[in-house]
Structure 1
Amino acid sequence: MTWTPHATVAVVVEDDRGRFLMVEEHSNGQIVFNQPAGHVEENERIIDAARREALEETGWEVRPDHFLGLYTYTAPANGVTYYRFCFTATALSRARERLDEDIIAAHWLTLAELKARQQQLRSPLVLQCIEDYRNGRRFPLDIIVEAQTPPA
């Protein structure tokens, strides 16, 4: 068996009222809450993936501001290891209403509201990323270096 980790992105977006942009979605037959997040597509820059996933899952255009960290998680439901590149971002504008098919809705939730839903969070990384963000963890975006593919 070949071990194949999954590269994913997530964004922590806080509004001026202290609420976080969250996604309510279907996952493994359950309804869960998560940051806007998803897989990096082939030949996609990681920061571009963060922008795309936020737009597809919430309808919001965001501007990634900082790199929050690289988080790993092995999901007990399927044994898959996920590498989560997490960013802080600023919401710019609501750009579309239609969301990805697995998404129920996008919500702005306070930390207290998220903690009340702790059993419904997609993974422990949801709160970990918010706590790291609230503790002031930030790295410049240029900490991520993606080599340019030479022309064929």
Structure 2
Amino acid sequence: MNRVLLLPLLLLACSDRDLCTEAPLCEDGRAINCEPSCLVGPCSTGPSSVACGEQAACTIVPGDLASPRFFRSRALCVEEGAASCDPATAGPPVCPGNGLIVGCSEYKRVIRAPCAQAVLYFTNIACCSGTGPVDGGTPDGGTSSDGGP
């Protein structure tokens, strides 16, 4: 009897949904993007996802069609209460030590993103690469897309 009940639950848990065809996508507090081809890595064969947390909200932001690097529209974790920003005049982004980078992105929004994908959103990623100070003054090479080390 338990096997009969288990089979429908397993079928519901499995999905043929292709998130890359839907990306960029905001769903359940997560920013979901897909990078099947890119001029600057990382490229991926599947969707990437980052939890926005309590201080950020997922927003779909259009890319800059004149930019060869930041032309794609993206699902971004935009910091709540932050106005649009100018990356040319803003200070460098910081890495709070949990595998994330936070700052004024090339998408002209203050966002949080995983260090593993920082190059897709920022031109200055020194705090993620370990060559610059993070918030607190020590290098951070975090790579988790879920904010963990």
| TM-score in terms of structure 1 length | 0.23
* Richer in helix (by share): 1
* Richer in strand (by share): 1
Higher relative contact order (CA 8 A, sep 6+): 1
- Higher-Rg member (1/2): 2
| TM-score in terms of structure 2 length | 0.23
